[in-house]
Amino acid sequence: MPREIIGRFDVIRLSILDKDGNCDESLRPQELTEKDYKKMFELMLLTRIFDDKCLKLQRQGRIGTYASTLGQEACQIGSAYAMNGSDFVFPAFREHGVFIARKMPMEMILQYWGGDERGDKIPEGINNFTVAIPVGTQILHAVGYAWASKLKLDKSASIVYFGDGATSKGDFHEAMNFAGVFKLPVIFLCQNNQWAISVPREKQTAAKTIAQKAIAYGFEGIQVDGNDVISVYKATKEALDKARKGNGPTLLELYTYRMADHTTADDASRYRSEQEVKEWKEKDPIDRLRKYMQNKGYWTPEYEKQIIETFQMKVEEAVSKYESMPKPNPADIFNYVYKDLTPELKEQKEYLINFLRRLE
């Protein structure tokens, strides 16, 4: 029996804005205006200022263990900026920029990382799911929501964030397979920041890219320059438009770098070199957009100085609100799990309440 080729597959890499701020105008989304670039730049700056404050608060014992977004601002703001309010976000644990762009109050983000469950009680009208600390579980949740949306003929899409480490979990593959079979309106957004704690990207898979994993499940995978906010916006918007039209899922591999430690409980200097970090600092996503905006006449030092001062005040106000909140009720660890508690959780909650009473 002769051998025959039954398929050939390509993986596209999208990069529009280089590290020096030079833009490929043939690829740039034409709908983006000066106002849009300024808004994305400001959201990226706000995310970085907030992130820096959180690191300081953790070191001072004012919040708990914290996962930094440093270096991944373009991934988060570019993708969030492409969404509609009706789209539903399923985060991992590093998506503070997405939350900020989606109008989640910063004091509530601080509240969550301070160990207060009320901080993860998403306000009405904000279509964000709660933070997922277990690696990969939120991928299945996003697919479930997308399936429900399709059954209800709802035109919204779901978008799920995860890291390169999560692609080694069964949850990822099960979710991708299900989404491909049923052509669900979901975007799998992998922030490939090169390190899953101390495990490097090359130890996660022998594949040349993470994006190509989508091919096995029957849909498109694209590798995107994750430090280019314009590329991230364009790829996410096109994937969302395709999903809303009933044309199925997309896997976006946002190729970026985790500039900080995995969390404040980690020491990245033990497993990666200073030279590697230095090379990635030259690809800083905020600096890249700043150079482009300066070339276009959208940016001045005075403009940035003013917005930095404004954002620093906003972040400090959020810290004040967070630290002036009444102490949480320990029973809240049960109150926000489900709309209605299961019998098992009711029993555990009652046990905790009685235990705390005995300590009084």
Cα 185-165-287 angle, rounded to 5 deg:
80
Yes or no: say if 120 and 336 are a contact pair by the CB < 8 Å rule: yes
Catalytic residue, from 48, 94, 262, 288: name it: 262
Q: What contacts 156, CB < 8 A, 6 or more positions away?
A: 84, 86, 87, 88, 127, 149, 185, 244
Does 173 qualify as catalytic in the annotation?
Answer: no
Catalytic residue, from 48, 102, 141, 258: name it: 258
Distance CA 109, CA 122 (A): 10
Catalytic residue, from 13, 59, 271, 351: name it: 271
Cα–chain-centroid distance for residue 274? 25
Distance CA 121, CA 133 (A): 15
Yes or no: say if 216 and 167 are a contact pair by the CB < 8 Å rule: no
Does 262 qualify as catalytic in the annotation?
Answer: yes
Does 258 qualify as catalytic in the annotation?
Answer: yes
Distance CA 198, CA 266 (A): 9
Neighbouring C-beta atoms of residue 278, cutoff 10 Å: 9
What are the beta bridge partners of residue 289? Answer: none
Active site residues: 258, 262, 271
